[in-house]
Structure 1
Amino acid sequence: MSDQQPSYMLIPASRRIIAGMVLALANFMVVLDMTIANVSVPHIAGDLGISAAQGTWVITSYAVAEAICVPLTGWLAQRFGTVRVFVTSISGFGLFSLLCGLSPTLDMLVLCRIGQGMCGGPIMPMSQTLLLRLFPPEMRGRAMGTWAMTTLLGPALGPILGGFISDNWSWHWIFFINVPIAVMVTMAALALVSPLETGKRKLPIDGIGLALLIFWVGCLQIMLDIGREHDWFGDPMIVMLVLCSAVGFAAFLIWELTEEHPVVNLRIFRNRGFSSGVIALALCYGAYFASIVVIPQWLQISLGYTATQAGIVTAFTAMSAWAMASFAARALGKIDARIMVSAAVTWLGIMALWRTHWTSSADFWTLALPQLVQGFAMPFFMVPLTTITLGAVAPADTASAAGLQNFLRTMASAVGASVMLTLWENSQRVARSEIVSKLNPGDAQASFAGAGFSPEQARQMIANLVDKESMALAINHLFLLSALALFLSAVVVWISPRPKGRVDASAAH
């Protein structure tokens, strides 16, 4: 690129809009993939002959792989060039999407989802970076607004599209649909945004820090995912994974705090505003993401909803969030960001308490209404919290802070989903024991016998009813715990000082 002219002058004005739409489409594809599989877990589990709990590995493996790759994005862009990293990531995402769809076993599917997450991690920040280079300053606000709309629209359409595809075609197609989009975006990017390529520099890479990060995060997530099936600490393998994760985490902390070029700049945690902000973010986003994993499973397994119906219920949150996004953006700067975040998170906690009254006989709108009302608060939480965390650090540390924030947010989604599923299973066992202890099987069987059921059919009906009610009680318990986590995060955010001035959040996604 010539030093005499800005980057956006290298592309004719007539092609900028098309190039911007291509970049937004790439971002939309990746965001869509975060939620499209959530409602398809029962279909995947049934087809592969695995439990629903094992099926959630498809979600958590993707999130963990993406989280690990996010901190590397800046290094990759400087080492190989922004456009090269973007095009390679899109191509890899399409390839691994194809392999996910072709997977005949859970092992292959999880492995390919890891590859998909590793390729998907750089796409969001790279598409954002290229948009800023593509448009002149006076058009960047509108371009980033379009980009932000794809970020909000993806989670809304993901559950609906995933449910429709799983019900009417096959779960394999939730991955296959990415392939033509990835091919089209790759070709269009090569044709339209190649002039925006940045220079390459040989930069040091913290290989040991990266290896330690992968090691301790991998051990932690495997332990959380398989612990339910291995009696937790009653299994020596789980104990070994816990020890490996703890030792790896301690070694990672020591190494990163002493390394000159760390893969994750942990020194930023010395900033009180940043630390309290990301703690609030992790608590809130972990509770939120876990709910959109658990709710579709409960609706399909216990209430007999189709994947499409479960997707519609789940998607109401993102729909109302999308409608409120512009209001949140206008309010930012006029109202203390801490007030906006605290009020929004408290609102989310109240919605969680609302859900503690769900029953196994709840109708569609009883389930959908809390989802819809919850969404109105989401933009007032996500956008201002980014302002709080990034506004608390020095401008030179903004990129590192954004990468660390995104890493923790994505890790919170994976860990939150695993923890919530474990608590759900444990709560079901406790609730089932309590119901059985108060049940008079003789009277129940007599009632069913009077209705024409055989003794075997009566026993099965009683067992089904007990399971259904225990799952509903467990859901109530989960949302009570979620409400407590959300109310805590609403308080934690006040540890941060009030943001001063405007914050450049372009490094965040």
Structure 2
Amino acid sequence: MNPLKRQILLITVIAAAIMELIDTSIVNVALNYMSGNLGATLEDTSWVITSYAIANVIIIPMTSFLASNLGRRNYYIGSIILFTLCSFLCGNATGIWELVAFRFLQGLGGGALLSVSATVVFELFPKEKQATASALFGIGVFIGPTIGPTLGGYITENYSWPWIFYINIPIGIATAVSCLFLLYEPAIKQKLQKIDWVGIGLLIIGIGSLQVVLERGKTDDWFAAGYIIFLSVTAAISLTAFIIWELSIPNPVVNLRILKFRSLSISAVLTFITGMGLYTSIYLTPVVAQRLLGFTPTQSGLLLLPGSIIAVLALVLTGKLLQKGVSPALIVLVGFLCFIYFNWSMSRINLESTSATISLNLIFRAIGMALLTVPLGALAVSSLQAKDIPQGTALNNMMRQLGGSFGISIINTYVARRVASHRMDLITHITPDNPIFIDRLKAYTQMFQQYGITVLDAKQKAIQLVEKVVVKQSSFSSYLDAFFLIGLFFAIVLPLLLFVARRDKTKPVVIPSSDH
């Protein structure tokens, strides 16, 4: 393949991956608009996000199996077409459940755009430049979820919510046509396998049930809802059976045996935590900025801009450091420390914090993510044989997506409980013998009296205003606690780096040359 075609194919598959990742978060800011337009409750509309996440996590670990049996070129192009077609159908949906169904199908198509794209990017570079390949793909992994909410907010505010789906159509058509002419089958082809229907069924039931529990548990008060209990038990049984089954048959749909490689298994855990950090920070920061600090959607989006620019540079730098032989474990350590610092700093902001303060904190987050994305991706496949790389990549990508789902679910529950705790703490200080409270109440009362309100009504409104202040401060403090908790998760897994500092004594990975 000549250099020009190689570059076009590289841009194509990275664009496809970015498109898929943007769609994981672009819908979040448009739920209110969809709810009103389609005449659905906000709770029902949130299934637009849930259905996509379920389909994504189900299909990602199966992509290697499907690509082997259907042909990677056919599967990838077919997935792009499915994703693009469903984007059009989502934009034209006339009912909420019609939209949910099309989002599920869109998620099935999107799974290949992430995993297969990563494999193709690795193949386009010789072995000595694998770190550069990982850096380039890492840019897409980082940028996609980061710009999704900002892009979704801009489109929804200035146009209408269907356009968050329509923008995929020209990109989808362009990537499908490009792949039709440029995408090749891998040099090493695996033999067609007998379809593992049992494994596929257990995976769909287990992961599907788990995702519903994670996405809907907080909304329905977890185990107070009967269907959450049922799906939790179903997920536990199905996933246990799935693991046992996959380890006992010769041609599993997901080859769990490759987790015996220490580099992949530890990388999967670290990637899970990284996914938590990536998605929860994108979720928490706009909420705090808009709901509590009073920033507009545009201002919230601009908070991420400096960090995003620096992250791209950091990703390229990380690739060069890896090429020069710098230990991936050392780079991951620095990345984790940056992310721990980001969460610690965010846990210490106040209601008077400026956009400059938050942007500076987000720069540390961006650098941390950049330093984690590249070496973790390379570390995951570093000890695998070429034929196992697609499966290892798929498993690692699944762990990132699951980390995001677990992280947001944990954070939502944690925030709700901390709000109640902080509110109780604040209320204990609202007493007649607290001079600070008495002075604040008098100030509020006098403020309302200046508008011609009677003393009695002014005092009543002052009490209501105190209540609003308590609610706002309770919410704010709980979100700061959430940032601290995520930072704690990063700190807890740091000792795992001691185990990857010593490389596996296994055959190093051999990436097929891209001279096809």
Class of the TM-score when normalised by the shorter of the 2 chains: 0.7 to 0.9
Question: How many Å separate the matches in 2 of 1:226 and 1:32?
Answer: 22
* Aligned counterpart, 1:166: 156
Select 2:200's aligned residue among 194, 201, 210.
210
Contact 1:130 1:196 in 2 (8 A): no
- Percent identity (aligned): 27
* Aligned counterpart, 1:34: 24
* Aligned counterpart, 1:416: 407
* Aligned counterpart, 1:313: 303
Pairing 1:63–2:53 present: yes
SS in 2 for 1:484: helix
Deviation at 1:157, TM superposition (A): 3.6
After alignment, is 403-412 or 498-507 more displaced?
498-507
Pairing 1:486–2:490 present: yes
Select 1:354's aligned residue among 345, 350, 357.
345
Contact 1:155 1:318 in 2 (8 A): no
* Aligned counterpart, 2:444: 448
Deviation at 1:382, TM superposition (A): 1.7
With over 3 angstroms needed to count, the CA separation of the structure-2 counterparts of 1:367 and 1:43, relative to structure 1, is farther
Question: How many Å separate the matches in 2 of 1:311 and 1:51?
Answer: 27
* Aligned counterpart, 1:467: 471
Select 2:279's aligned residue among 289, 292, 298.
289
Contact 1:89 1:119 in 2 (8 A): yes
2:309 is matched by which residue type in structure 1? M
Deviation at 1:119, TM superposition (A): 0.4
* Aligned counterpart, 1:4: none
Contact 2:131 2:319 in 1 (8 A): no
Deviation at 1:122, TM superposition (A): 0.6
Deviation at 1:110, TM superposition (A): 3.6
Alignment root-mean-square deviation, CA: 3.4
Deviation at 1:66, TM superposition (A): 1.7
Select 2:83's aligned residue among 82, 93, 103.
93
* Aligned counterpart, 1:304: 294
1:264 is matched by which residue type in structure 2? V
Task: List per-residue Cα deviations over 1:60-95 (Å, max 9, x = no partner).
Answer: 543332222122222222222222222211111112
Contiguous gaps of at least 5 residues in structure 2: none
Deviation at 1:300, TM superposition (A): 2.5
After alignment, is 208-217 or 219-228 more displaced?
219-228
With over 3 angstroms needed to count, the CA separation of the structure-2 counterparts of 1:495 and 1:249, relative to structure 1, is same
Deviation at 1:40, TM superposition (A): 4.3
* Aligned counterpart, 2:237: 247
Question: How many Å separate the matches in 2 of 1:28 and 1:493?
Answer: 29
Question: How many Å separate the matches in 2 of 1:144 and 1:269?
Answer: 20
Contact 2:30 2:153 in 1 (8 A): yes
Question: How many Å separate the matches in 1 of 2:128 and 2:88?
Answer: 39
Question: How many Å separate the matches in 1 of 2:199 and 2:274?
Answer: 28
Task: List per-residue Cα deviations over 1:99-140 (Å, max 9, x = no partner).
Answer: 333345554444333222210111234345556777999999
With over 3 angstroms needed to count, the CA separation of the structure-2 counterparts of 1:338 and 1:492, relative to structure 1, is same
2:65 is matched by which residue type in structure 1? W
Task: List per-residue Cα deviations over 1:286-313 (Å, max 9, x = no partner).
Answer: 1331121122223233333322222222
Deviation at 1:354, TM superposition (A): 0.6
* Aligned counterpart, 1:193: 182
2:106 is matched by which residue type in structure 1? Q
SS in 1 for 2:24: helix
Deviation at 1:387, TM superposition (A): 2.9
SS in 2 for 1:360: coil
With over 3 angstroms needed to count, the CA separation of the structure-2 counterparts of 1:185 and 1:395, relative to structure 1, is closer
With over 3 angstroms needed to count, the CA separation of the structure-2 counterparts of 1:49 and 1:362, relative to structure 1, is farther
* Aligned counterpart, 2:392: 401
Task: List per-residue Cα deviations over 1:370-404 (Å, max 9, x = no partner).
Answer: 10122123222122123333224455543332221
> How many equivalent pairs are there?
496
Deviation at 1:97, TM superposition (A): 1.6
With over 3 angstroms needed to count, the CA separation of the structure-2 counterparts of 1:171 and 1:302, relative to structure 1, is farther
With over 3 angstroms needed to count, the CA separation of the structure-2 counterparts of 1:226 and 1:106, relative to structure 1, is farther
Task: List per-residue Cα deviations over 1:6-43 (Å, max 9, x = no partner).
Answer: xx3xxx77655545543443233223323433454565
- Write out aligned runs for 1:83-122 (5 A): 83-103=73-93, 106-122=96-112
SS in 2 for 1:499: coil
Pairing 1:77–2:67 present: yes
After alignment, is 418-427 or 347-356 more displaced?
418-427
Question: How many Å separate the matches in 2 of 1:471 and 1:463?
Answer: 12
With over 3 angstroms needed to count, the CA separation of the structure-2 counterparts of 1:398 and 1:43, relative to structure 1, is same
Select 1:374's aligned residue among 331, 346, 365.
365
2:360 is matched by which residue type in structure 1? L
